[in-house]
Amino acid sequence: MGRSPCCEKAHTNKGAWTKEEDDRLIAYIRAHGEGCWRSLPKAAGLLRCGKSCRLRWINYLRPDLKRGNFTEEEDELIIKLHSLLGNKWSLIAGRLPGRTDNEIKNYWNTHIRRKLLSRGIDPTTHRPINEPAAAAGASSQDSIKTISFSAANSKEEDDDDDKNTTAGAGSLIITKEDHNSPAAERCPDLNLELRISPPYGQQQDHHHHHHQDPLKTGGIRDTSSSSSCFACSLGIQNSQDCSCSSGGSSNPGYDFLGLKTGVLDYRSLEMK
């Protein structure tokens, strides 16, 4: 069924935003907050569609954006999160305060992909390129292995890594069970029995997105001593992947990627 366009194309500007449009958008959101994107353009006097306004605000105008180059720590964090989550840019962005999904996506496609390729690592699978993907895939599913992230990024060790730049990420030991999670497919060697716990938001009671966001309702953690499975952690406890009956819970010991240790600045995004 055809859907009505989000805006009347005939009367909307497209392309790069002008300074004046930016100013209008900023002024409006300062005054009224991020309300209904659909009605915002008209209310703000912008000849843009709501989506365009939202994108401009989220990706560019928001005052809490970090901007500037990605740090080595951020690089490694993105790589590790991507190895777990795949192209879930919004989830990855949820772990990188001040960074947007769009920014991370672009950065991945331009910088990190190349970086991994130069290390001989397939940026999609996070496996060594010369290793046949098929062999690595289904056949190994039943085997249980225990590896660390640093193993997953084996080639990194000689250059900048093994220093566990992301505050202990390298020490995260993951044991694999036979889950069909995307991450498990992507990293067949990884035992992804991880848990999700509040990143930096839940404790601080802020909501960025209203809808499901596993990493926003939970961080990834080692589950060896706790009660819910990776599927639950990803918010899919009703799925067949769920191997437990818990609905997920807080774990005070959580420190995936050193998020609690303050190595990275996991402040609130101040978003509503």
* Interacting residues with DNA (CB under 7 A): 1, 3-4, 6, 13-17, 36-38, 48, 50-52, 54-56, 59-60, 87-91, 101-103, 105-107, 109-111, 114, 209-213
Amino acid code (one letter) for 67 = R
- Minimum CB separation from DNA for residue 254, in Å? 22
Instruction: Give yes or no for a contact between 53 and 39, defined as CB atoms under 8 angstroms apart.
Output: no
- Minimum CB separation from DNA for residue 14, in Å? 4
- Minimum CB separation from DNA for residue 95, in Å? 12
Phi, psi torsion values for 222, nearest 5 degrees: -70, 130
- Minimum CB separation from DNA for residue 109, in Å? 6
CB proximity list for 257: less than 8 A, separation 6 or greater: 77, 80, 81, 95, 166, 167, 168, 169, 172, 219, 220, 264
- Minimum CB separation from DNA for residue 179, in Å? 19
Residue number, 167 or 269, with CB nearest to DNA: 269
Residue number, 5 or 253, with CB nearest to DNA: 5
Residue number, 52 or 150, with CB nearest to DNA: 52
146-148 and 221-222: which strand pairing?
unpaired
Residue number, 129 or 147, with CB nearest to DNA: 129
CB proximity list for 137: less than 8 A, separation 6 or greater: 185, 188
Residue number, 29 or 172, with CB nearest to DNA: 29
Q: In terms of residues, how long is the chain?
A: 272
173-175 and 146-148: which strand pairing?
antiparallel
Residue 61 CB-half CA count within 13 A: 21
Q: How distant is the alpha carbon of residue 171 from its chain centre? A: 20
